C-alpha cells in the first residue's frame, strides 16, 4: 500500500475506494487514475472476490470497483457478500464489452450494483486525460457528492464517452409541481422513459407494474452497445413485459418496450402503417449517445401533450430540454425522488426546473404509471 493510501485511510472526508481485480496491471492503472483526484483514496487493492469481501468488511469503502471474471471467487458471486459486509458501499462492475460480460453485468445490476464501467480495449485507453479517466472520476464523484471536493469540478461537465453523461449540478431552489388546467389528464398515447446510473434496477421495479398496458413504451438508458440488447432481454425475463433493442425501421407496437441501442440515438416516426423506430448516428447530446432528448422530441412531434414522460435515476441532466418541451405543451412528466435515486442528476434537473407533474419514490412510480395508463 502506498504512503498516499496509508495517509488517506484515516480521512473521513475522502471517497474510499476498494479495487477488486485479478490483474495487477489493471489495478495499477486504476490506482494511477484515482490518485489524480485528491477527493479519492484507495483503501485496499485485492485480486479476487474472496479477498474483496474481507476488505469490504474491514474498510467499509464508499465505492467498490469489482471485476466480474476472477479466480477463487468471481465478482457476481462476491457481490451479495460484499454488500452484506458493507451495506453502504456502492458497487461499480468492471466489465468487458462482450455479450457474456454484459449479461453478467446486468445480473449484477439487478442484484444491487449501481453502475458498470467497460474495460478499455487497450492500455493506451486508460491514460491521464483519456475518456476512460474522466468517466471513472466523474462516476465516482457523482456517487459520493458530499465527499467530492477538489479535483475535477462537478459544476463543469467533463468530456466523456457518449454513453456516460457528465454531471451538471444546479443550485438548490424550491421545487414546485406543475398543476392546473393546462396539464393533460386523459389517457396518454405513449410512455417515454429516460434513465442512467442506477437505471436498470429502477427500470425492473417500474416495468413490473406495466403488464397488460395498451400503449407503447420507448426507453433510453445510458449504456454501451451490446449492453442495451442484454438489458432488453433482462427486462423481458424479470418483468414479463416484452422488450426489444430497437433496430432501424422496427415497428412500434402497443404493450411492448423499445430500448435505444448503445451508441445511437432513437427517434420515433410515424407513417401510414403506424409507428416505427429510426436510429440516428448524429452527435451526442448532453454528452450522451443515446440521449433522451432526440427520443422525447420525436415523440412530442407525434403525440404532443398525450406523451407521458418518466425520468429515473441518473447522472447529468439528459432530458432537461425535452422535459421543458413536454411541460410547455401540457404533457405529464414524472421524476424519481432524490431519496430513492442512486444519483439525483437527471430526475433532479427536471424536478428543480419545475417541469414535473409528480415526483415520486421508486416503489410508487410503477403503480402511478399503470393507473395513469389503464385508469
Query: Which residues are the active-site residues?
Result: 196, 222, 318
**Which contiguous run of DSSP H or E holds residue 206?**
helix 199-207
Distances, alpha carbon 222 to alpha carbons 41, 180, 314, in Å: 27, 33, 9
Kindly list the strands in the beta sheet with 115-118, ordered across the sheet, starting from the edge strand earlier in the chain.
40-46, 15-20, 63-67, 90-95, 115-118
**Measured between alpha carbons, how far is 27 from 25 in angstroms, rounded to an integer?**
5
Task: Give the number of other CB atoms < 10 A from CB of residue 369.
Answer: 25
What are the cell numbers at 137? 472520476
Is the alpha carbon torsion for 176, 300, 296, 210 positive or negative?
Answer: positive
Contact yes or no for 38/139 (Cβ under 8 A): no
Task: Give the number of other CB atoms < 10 A from CB of residue 256.
Answer: 17
Is the alpha carbon torsion for 100, 218, 270, 273 positive or negative?
Answer: positive
**Measured between alpha carbons, how far is 173 from 177 in angstroms, rounded to an integer?**
13
**Measured between alpha carbons, how far is 243 from 26 in angstroms, rounded to an integer?**
35
Q: How crowded is the C-beta side of 360, counted as CA atoms within 13 Å? A: 16
Contact yes or no for 110/80 (Cβ under 8 A): no
Contact yes or no for 374/191 (Cβ under 8 A): no
* β-pairing verdict for 274-280 and 265-271: antiparallel
Amino acid at each position: 500500500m502506498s504512503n498516499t493510501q496509508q495517509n488517506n485511510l484515516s480521512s473521513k472526508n475522502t471517497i474510499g475506494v476498494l479495487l477488486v481485480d485479478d490483474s495487477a496491471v489493471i489495478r495499477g492503472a486504476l490506482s494511477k487514475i484515482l490518485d489524480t483526484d485528491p477527493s479519492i483514496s484507495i483503501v485496499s487493492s485485492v485480486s479476487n472476490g474472496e479477498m474483496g469481501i474481507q476488505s469490504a468488511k474491514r474498510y467499509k469503502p464508499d465505492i467498490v470497483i469489482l471485476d466480474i471474471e476472477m479466480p477463487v471467487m468471481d465478482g457476481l458471486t462476491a457481490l451479495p457478500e460484499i454488500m452484506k459486509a458493507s451495506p453502504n458501499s456502492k458497487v461499480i462492475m468492471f466489465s468487458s464489452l462482450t455479450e457474456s460480460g454484459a449479461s453478467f453485468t446486468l445480473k449484477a445490476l439487478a442484484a444491487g450494483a449501481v453502475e458498470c464501467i467497460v474495460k478499455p480495449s487497450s492500455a493506451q485507453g486508460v491514460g491521464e486525460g483519456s475518456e476512460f479517466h474522466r468517466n471513472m472520476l466523474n462516476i465516482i464523484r457523482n456517487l459520493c457528492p458530499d465527499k467530492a471536493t477538489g479535483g475535477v469540478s462537478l459544476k463543469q461537465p467533463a468530456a466523456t464517452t457518449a454513453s456516460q453523461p457528465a454531471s451538471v449540478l444546479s443550485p438548490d431552489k424550491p421545487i414546485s409541481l406543475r398543476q392546473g388546467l393546462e396539464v393533460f389528464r386523459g389517457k396518454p398515447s405513449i410512455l417515454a422513459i429516460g434513465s442512467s446510473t442506477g437505471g436498470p434496477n429502477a427500470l425492473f421495479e417500474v416495468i413490473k407494474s406495466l403488464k397488460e398496458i395498451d400503449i407503447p413504451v420507448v426507453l433510453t438508458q445510458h449504456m454501451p452497445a451490446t449492453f442495451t440488447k442484454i438489458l432488453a432481454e433482462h427486462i423481458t425475463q424479470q418483468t414479463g413485459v416484452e422488450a426489444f433493442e430497437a433496430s432501424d425501421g422496427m415497428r412500434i407496437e402497443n404493450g411492448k418496450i423499445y430500448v435505444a441501442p448503445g451508441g445511437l440515438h432513437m427517434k420515433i416516426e410515424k407513417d401510414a402503417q403506424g409507428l416505427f423506430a429510426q436510429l440516428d448516428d448524429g452527435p451526442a447530446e448532453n454528452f450522451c449517445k443515446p440521449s433522451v432528448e432526440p427520443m422525447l422530441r420525436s415523440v412530442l412531434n407525434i403525440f404532443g401533450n398525450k406523451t407521458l414522460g418518466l425520468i429515473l435515476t441518473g447522472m447529468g441532466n439528459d432530458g432537461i430540454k425535452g422535459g421543458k418541451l413536454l411541460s410547455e405543451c401540457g404533457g405529464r412528466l414524472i421524476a424519481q425522488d432524490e431519496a430513492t435515486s442512486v444519483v439525483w442528476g437527471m430526475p433532479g434537473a427536471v424536478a428543480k426546473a419545475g417541469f414535473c407533474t409528480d415526483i415520486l419514490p421508486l416503489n410508487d412510480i410503477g403503480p402511478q404509471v399503470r393507473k395513469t395508463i389503464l385508469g
